Amino acid sequence: MGQTKFIDGHDIKIEGFDENSLEVHLNGSGLKRGIRPRRLFTISNPYSYIQLVKRNGSEVGILKDISSLDDKSQKTLKEALDKFYVIPEIQEINDIYEEFGVSKWDVVTDRGKRTFEVQSRNTDIHLLGNGRVLIRDADNNRYEIKDYNKLPKESYKLLEGEI
């Protein structure tokens, strides 16, 4: 098993390669194509500790902080990360009901109407502070409520039974 290589932003240039990957120019290691960025701390630190991974799953290295990149590389990397980590924001909850031990949610997000299932309140619904809620559905998709105190009254009441 190899040792993790931490990458300094001054030693790397990042450009778009194709729709789903990047081209990385790394001092000392040359050009790498088809690189996919992955956040190691998706919620708590979304622009630090970015793992750069080849298509075969092997790690190129970990960029400690995106702000150490030049402006163009930083913009390209942020766009790639934001595209991969789309988290719809729940704006309204129409209904939550339980069926066979699974809660079924009918919501309106900033990306349209969605219905999904939540397996466990205890492990799939997380209060993150300041009214923020992160929800993981049965298919491992994430949804966010930025501040449940700002939800419409009926939505707030439905959520209250789940948290």
Query: How confident is the model over 83-133, as pLDDT tens digits?
Result: 887 889 999 999 999 999 899 999 999 999 999 999 998 899 999 889 999
For position 145, what pLDDT does the model report?
A: 97
For position 29, what pLDDT does the model report?
A: 82
Q: Can you tell me the distance from the alpha carbon of 50 to that of 30, in angstroms, rounded to the nearest whole number?
A: 19
For position 38, what pLDDT does the model report?
A: 92
Residues 46-97: pLDDT tens digits? 889 999 999 888 999 999 999 999 999 999 999 998 888 788 999 999 999 9
**Model-level pTM greater than 0.85?**
no
Q: Can you tell me the distance from the alpha carbon of 89 to that of 91, in angstroms, rounded to the nearest whole number?
A: 6
Contact 81, 69 (CB under 8 A): no
